[in-house]
């Protein structure tokens, strides 16, 4: 097989310029073509990019933003194109590569270099005490996993999932864990929208959003975009916001940073987009303090209640708790609200004026809200904001947590969850004749704690990059080294392959773009987008290597090796024909009745959603809960800053495509920390200086070395830097109340000049 390796490029020199104020346009198109051509070449680029998000094509492996009903010929964005090119690259990591590079030497490389080496090609194994991975056959690898799992207690195996796994893969994966006898199913959601699911589940009875694409693009008249940077992370959302504006909506960005994507937007799919000035997306930017959103929304709620600008009929018919909450809002002090939010009373009053003048309001949010200690309370407060004026369950209104990974929402629907509801386990038990365990399993933080205590013998990861994505890098990587066997089912080389257990396996799998002929026939998979639409995804490209297997194929082979089909579960048959899996899903998961047939509809079908469809709230009382949440916010002590860790424009989580963050004016490096110029002055340091970032926690300090200071428009007292480089700063036991999501957006730090 012909292989290509990329050359060793050092991290280029860092250059800083003014941040941009507009998104996309010609630079965006040019950038995405540059990546595509570099990784795939011209023919493969065209063949691939024209199939993204088309009916009969494949679902974009990047974010979870939904597809509009009326698709354009090119329904992808700059960052989707990067994700596709990254997967469809012609470069390969083969056995010669592993023979030439020891694990120790690979550990010295950065995340960009590791993944840039290309696609994994065949199963690799590292034995205890070895320095290099070497090839292993598929059958030996599968037998080894089954032996190691069988040799230990079910609760000493852990099954991690990253949100790119299809519904079919996720369903058989959770089934494997449950047949084995454990709910140890941590997933990337634990670090992502867990706080949204927890809060919304408590107050509206469903852990998902309540709006459709058309609600947002056509019917809304006011849209809040809170703690989200769609220009980088959900670029196709800008098109929806542009339509919303054409239909009369106002857009408010609530964010410590003035993100370029919410400034002027030039849509490359329209003539005006490529040549003109574009649409101004955000009518208003509210520069909230990091972690100040609870106070901000509590302030708006307080004003609405004081003015009696609430929908009494809706509150009486559909909710509980209004009277108690109203008293709590009345008792809140303005000083506290403005101090914690960083927004004045006048500004909050004028936001309330705007809210009162609008009938159909949507609140969108992402990681800026979910990764704080008080995230669950913050999102409950936002749900109250919507409930107060009846903005749930009517066209153009509702909650819109914008999901991250392309199928992270579907994975949860399929039962990837460490604390599954009893009805789900009952349904799995009845369908397969097994007795699923009832005890809660490990989430991400608990899994790392268990590894640290030596309580994990087998760690299996369905995608993702556990070692780099999780908090407290030093603690986590040491914990992983204590695991018996680590198994990574992956498409590309990453840091998690290097932090293996005493034994390690890398199992290379097909990606979303590739043709899947498992069982000798063409298979397809399904995904659920951020708005609960389920549709099919058909890979089209020739697989990157003949040895690659599908995720479903790998999981079913492990099931067969562990239990055999005589155990009552048709592992081999499911692995040969995915429609059998869909048939089981239809029997187990509500909303999937007649699954296979309904997939034939162009664009797929919508899952039922009680609050959205009929104002039905599946809570203990059958009513939505209005809550006022005690004012809390993390503030940094004098001499310290509150650091949020975020994504650059050139990365997908731990996958670093390149060293630029174009919109924020950063070129050629990632070791930067953005700080308010007045804070720099007070701290006696200056733009351009190099500092160590030191986080302060009850158990001591953690240090990330060598960051260039960048004076930047962020509220005083707050700072920002990129993850995963800064994950070393986040203590394992610093997580959100109620959801246990690591507090990646509020880390108390000080900056030490070098």
Residue 259 interacting with ligand MGD (CB under 6 A): yes
Locus of tokens 């034939």: 600
Which range binds ligand MGD by CB under 6 A, 231-239, 429-437, 476-484, 522-530?
231-239
Residue 466 interacting with ligand MGD (CB under 6 A): yes
What's the token pair of residue 205? 């009875």
Binding site for Mo ion (CB under 5 A): 192, 404
Measured N-to-C along each axis, helices 78-87 and 42-49 cross at an angle, to the nearest 10 degrees, of: 120
From ligand MGD, Mo ion, none, which one binds at residue 464 (CB under 5 to 8 Å depending on kind)? ligand MGD
Residue 549 interacting with ligand MGD (CB under 6 A): no
**What is the distance between the alpha carbons of residues 626 and 619, in angstroms, rounded to a whole number?**
12
From Mo ion, ligand MGD, none, which one binds at residue 398 (CB under 5 to 8 Å depending on kind)? none
From ligand MGD, Mo ion, none, which one binds at residue 411 (CB under 5 to 8 Å depending on kind)? none
CB of 598 to Mo ion, least distance (A): 28
Helix/strand/coil for 523: strand
Instruction: Convert 652-676 to b/e letters by CB count within 10 Å (16 or more is b).
Output: bbbbbbbbbbbbbbbbebbbbbbbb
Closest by Cα among 436, 502, 573 to 148: 502
From Mo ion, ligand MGD, none, which one binds at residue 36 (CB under 5 to 8 Å depending on kind)? none
Which range binds ligand MGD by CB under 6 A, 141-149, 365-373, 664-672, 676-684?
365-373
Nearest CB to ligand MGD, comparing residues 293 and 320: 293
- Among 23, 199, 290, 693, interactor with ligand MGD by CB under 6 A: 290
Residue 465 interacting with ligand MGD (CB under 6 A): yes
What's the token pair of residue 398? 């509702």
CB of 567 to ligand MGD, least distance (A): 25
Residue 723 interacting with ligand MGD (CB under 6 A): yes
- Among 229, 239, 660, 695, interactor with ligand MGD by CB under 6 A: 229
- Among 489, 506, 574, 680, interactor with ligand MGD by CB under 6 A: 489
Q: How buried is 576 (Cβ within 10 angstroms: 0-12 exposed, 13-18 middle, 19+ buried)?
A: middle
Which range binds ligand MGD by CB under 6 A, 28-36, 289-297, 617-625, 664-672?
289-297
Nearest CB to Mo ion, comparing residues 66 and 404: 404
**What is the distance between the alpha carbons of residues 20 and 23, in angstroms, rounded to a whole number?**
8
Site track 425-464 with ligand MGD (rule: CB under 6 A), x = hit: -------------------------------------xxx
Give residues 604-663 in contact with ligand MGD (rule: CB under 6 A): 644-647, 651-655
* Torsion sign over Cα 682, 686, 689, 693: positive
Residue 233 interacting with ligand MGD (CB under 6 A): yes
From ligand MGD, Mo ion, none, which one binds at residue 500 (CB under 5 to 8 Å depending on kind)? none
Query: Measured at CB, which residue is nearest to Mo ion?
Result: 404
Residue 62 interacting with ligand MGD (CB under 6 A): yes
Torsion angle in degrees (nearest 10) through CA of 36, 37, 38, 40: 70
Closest by Cα among 471, 464, 456 to 496: 464
Locus of tokens 């034995």: 127
| Cα–Cα separations (whole angstroms), residue 522 to 172, 550, 582 | 19, 12, 15
From Mo ion, ligand MGD, none, which one binds at residue 295 (CB under 5 to 8 Å depending on kind)? none
Phi, psi of 120 (to 5 degrees): -65, 150
What's the token pair of residue 645? 């860790």
- Among 40, 52, 172, 192, interactor with ligand MGD by CB under 6 A: 192
From Mo ion, ligand MGD, none, which one binds at residue 79 (CB under 5 to 8 Å depending on kind)? ligand MGD
CB of 412 to Mo ion, least distance (A): 12
The alpha carbons of the chain give a radius of gyration, in whole angstroms, of 25
Residue 295 DSSP class: H
- Helices in 134-290 by DSSP H: which ranges? 138-150, 167-180, 194-204, 213-214, 230-233, 236-246, 271-275
Count of Cβ atoms closer than 10 Å to residue 330 Cβ? 11
Residues that bind ligand MGD (CB under 6 A): 62-63, 79, 115, 162-164, 188, 191-192, 226-229, 232-234, 254-257, 259, 288, 290-291, 293, 366-368, 371, 404-405, 462-466, 469, 489-492, 494, 509, 511-512, 551, 644-647, 651-655, 723, 726-727, 730, 744-745
């Amino acid at each position: 097989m012909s292989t290509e390796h990329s050359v060793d490029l050092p991290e280029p020199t860092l250059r800083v310029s003014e941040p941009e104020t507009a998104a996309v346009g010609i630079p965006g198109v040019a950038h995405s073509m540059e990546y595509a051509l570099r990784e795939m070449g011209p023919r493969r680029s065209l063949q691939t990019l024209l199939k993204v998000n088309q009916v009969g094509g494949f679902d974009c492996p990047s974010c979870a933003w939904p597809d509009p009903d009326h698709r354009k010929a090119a329904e992808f964005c700059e960052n989707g194109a990067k994700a596709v090119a990254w997967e469809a690259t012609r470069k390969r990591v083969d056995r010669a590569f592993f023979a030439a590079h020891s694990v120790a030497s690979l550990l010295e490389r950065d995340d960009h270099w590791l993944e840039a080496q290309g696609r994994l090609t065949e199963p690799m194994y590292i034995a205890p005490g070895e320095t290099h991975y070497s090839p292993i056959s598929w059958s030996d690898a599968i037998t080894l996993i089954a032996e190691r799992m069988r040799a230990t207690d079910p609760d000493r195996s852990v099954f991690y999932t990253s949100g790119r796994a299809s519904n079919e893969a996720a369903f058989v994966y959770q089934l494997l864990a449950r047949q084995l006898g454990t709910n140890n199913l941590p997933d990337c959601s634990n670090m992502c929208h867990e706080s949204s699911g927890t809060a919304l589940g408590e107050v509206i009875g469903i852990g998902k959003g309540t709006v459709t694409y058309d609600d947002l693009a056509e019917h809304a008249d006011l849209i809040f975009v809170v703690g989200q940077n769609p220009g980088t992370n959900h670029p196709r959302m800008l098109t929806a916001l542009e339509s919303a504006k054409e239909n009369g909506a106002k857009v408010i960005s609530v964010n410590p940073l003035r993100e370029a994507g919410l400034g002027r937007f030039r849509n490359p799919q329209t003539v005006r987009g490529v040549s003109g000035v574009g649409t101004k997306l955000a009518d208003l930017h509210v520069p909230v303090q990091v972690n100040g959103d609870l106070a901000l929304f509590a302030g708006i709620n307080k004003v609405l209640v004081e003015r009696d600008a609430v929908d009494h009929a809706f509150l009486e018919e559909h909710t509980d708790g209004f009277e108690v909450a109203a008293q709590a809002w009345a008792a809140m002090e303005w000083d506290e609200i403005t101090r914690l939010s960083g927004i004045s009373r006048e500004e909050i009053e004028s936001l309330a004026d705007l809210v009162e003048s609008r009938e159909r309001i949507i609140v969108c949010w992402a990681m800026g809200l979910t990764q704080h200690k008080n995230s669950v309370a913050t999102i409950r407060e936002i749900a109250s904001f919507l409930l107060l004026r009846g903005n749930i369950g009517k066209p153009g209104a509702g909650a819109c947590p914008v999901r991250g990974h392309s199928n992270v929402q579907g994975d949860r629907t399929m039962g990837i969850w460490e604390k599954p509801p009893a009805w789900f386990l009952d349904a799995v038990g009845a369908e397969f004749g097994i007795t699923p365990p009832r005890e809660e399993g490990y989430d991400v933080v608990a899994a790392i704690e268990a590894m640290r205590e030596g309580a994990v013998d087998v760690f299996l990861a369905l995608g993702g990059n556990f070692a780099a994505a999780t908090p407290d890098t030093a603690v986590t990587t040491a914990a992983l080294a204590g695991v018996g066997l680590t198994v990574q089912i992956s498409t590309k080389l990453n840091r998690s392959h290097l932090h293996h257990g005493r034994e390690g396996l890398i199992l290379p799998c097909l990606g979303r773009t590739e043709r899947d002929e498992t069982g000798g026939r063409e298979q397809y998979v399904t995904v659920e987008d951020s708005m609960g639409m389920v549709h099919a995804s058909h890979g089209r490209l020739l697989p990157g290597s003949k040895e690659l297997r599908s995720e479903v194929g790998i999981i079913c082979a492990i099931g067969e090796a562990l239990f055999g089909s005589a155990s009552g579960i048709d592992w081999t048959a499911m692995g040969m024909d995915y429609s059998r899996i869909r048939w089981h899903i239809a029997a187990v998961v509500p909303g999937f009745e007649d699954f296979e047939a309904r997939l034939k509809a162009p664009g797929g079908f919508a899952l039922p959603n009680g609050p959205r469809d009929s104002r039905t709230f599946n809570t203990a009382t059958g009513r939505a809960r209005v809550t006022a949440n005690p004012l809390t916010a993390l503030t940094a002590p004098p001499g310290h800053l509150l650091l949020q860790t975020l994504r650059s424009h050139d990365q997908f989580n731990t996958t670093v495509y390149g060293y630029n963050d174009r919109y924020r004016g950063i070129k050629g490096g990632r070791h930067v920390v953005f700080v308010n110029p007045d804070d720099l002055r007070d701290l006696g340091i200056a733009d351009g200086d190099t500092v160590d970032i030191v986080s302060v926690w009850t158990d001591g300090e953690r240090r990330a070395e060598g960051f260039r200071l960048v004076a930047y428009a962020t509220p005083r007292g707050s700072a920002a830097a990129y993850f995963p480089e800064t994950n070393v700063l986040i203590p394992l036991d610093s997580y959100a109340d109620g959801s246990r999501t690591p507090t990646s957006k509020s880390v108390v730090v000080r900056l030490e000049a070098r």
